[in-house]
Amino acid sequence: MAESGMIRRVCILYTPSPYNDAWRWAINSRAHDLGWSVSEFGANGVNNDEADCIINCSEVHHVAQTNATHVVILLPTTAAGLPYSDRDSELDFPAPHARMVIQQLSLKYAHAVPLAAEGATLVSPDAIGADIPGLGWVERGQADVRFQEDLGRKHGLHDYFNLCAGFELSWPWSAFEIGEGRVDGETWSTDLTGRARMLVYGPYRALPPGRWRVEVDISISGVGALPELRFEWGTPTEGDMIEPRLDQSGTYRITMEREWLEVAPAEFRIILARAVFDAYLTVSKCRVVYLG
């Protein structure tokens, strides 16, 4: 809360959610009742008057331009440009639409992490009310929402705001792009027989800054030469690569680490580096661990 006599400039960051209209009406109404001004970033400029004000914006990179003394983040439940529908809630993988929802949600959450670390107020999307700096307790109105499932919490994105060493995400193989094989729960298996090729890549879920490790357990078998596999971990534009020596049938643990200097989508890839005959691969769940 600002000191007494200090001008309060409260930036409300709206992220994609079917609750936004209800929140916007409630917050703006309370602000007007208290004699505050309300402006929309990009619509009528940023209010720099010497008066208490609410500045509404929808892009995280606009927050710094508002010169806000307080920031409130209304956390997302769906993704920009995509309808909030039954399908979003059910996330019937491997539908590209459902994958895109989580990819865009992860970007919104990851970009909000630095703001939260600086003291921004976080508001759960389906909360009935919230303590808004300068305005006090504000209750939102009714929202026309068919599904109230919190996708951010379901997929571990809420935990981005409480990162500590050892925090782990589990990414299902159904969230990846897979050209062949079979997904059974947390396991993916495929017959490697054939030419060199990309086997799996994705899931392009954004990670906050920090050092992240990917871990997978693989089992390989075959009657002839064993496969030569390449593993890559990083972002779509840069990453690290390893080609471990797999000299006998059995189970191996693959681990790779990389530093995220800024928010960026994560990409893990498995590539068959050379043609092989009569070889098989099984991969357990993909674990992503925050190291600090």
Q: pLDDT tier at 181 (50, 70, 90 boundaries)?
A: confident
Please give the single-letter amino acid code of residue 268. Answer: F
CB 20 within 8 A of CB 14: yes
Helix (H, G, I), strand (E, B) or coil at 166: coil
Strands 53-57 and 70-74, sheet pairing: unpaired
Residue 179 has pLDDT above 90, yes or no: no
**How far is the CA of 132 from the CAs of 1, 23, 74, in angstroms?**
10, 11, 11
Task: Give the DSSP letter of residue 30.
Answer: H
Q: Tell me the pLDDT tens digit for each residue of 1-60.
A: 344 568 899 999 998 788 889 999 999 999 999 999 999 987 555 656 668 999 999 888
Domain range list for the chain: 9-160, 166-290
Single-letter residue type at 116: A
Query: For residue 15, what is the enclosing H or E element?
Result: none
Q: Which residues contact 224 (CB under 8 A, 6 or more apart)?
A: 276, 277, 278, 279
Q: How large a percentage of the chain has pLDDT more than 90? A: 53
Q: What is the pLDDT of residues 221-239, one digit of tens each?
A: 876 677 899 999 999 999 9
DSSP 261-279: SS-EEEEEEEEE-S-BSSE
Q: Which CATH class is domain 166-290?
A: mainly beta
Mean pLDDT, the chain, whole residue set: 85
Q: Which pTM does this prediction carry?
A: 0.81
Ramachandran sector of residue 210 (left: φ over 0; alpha: ψ -120 to 50; beta: rest): left
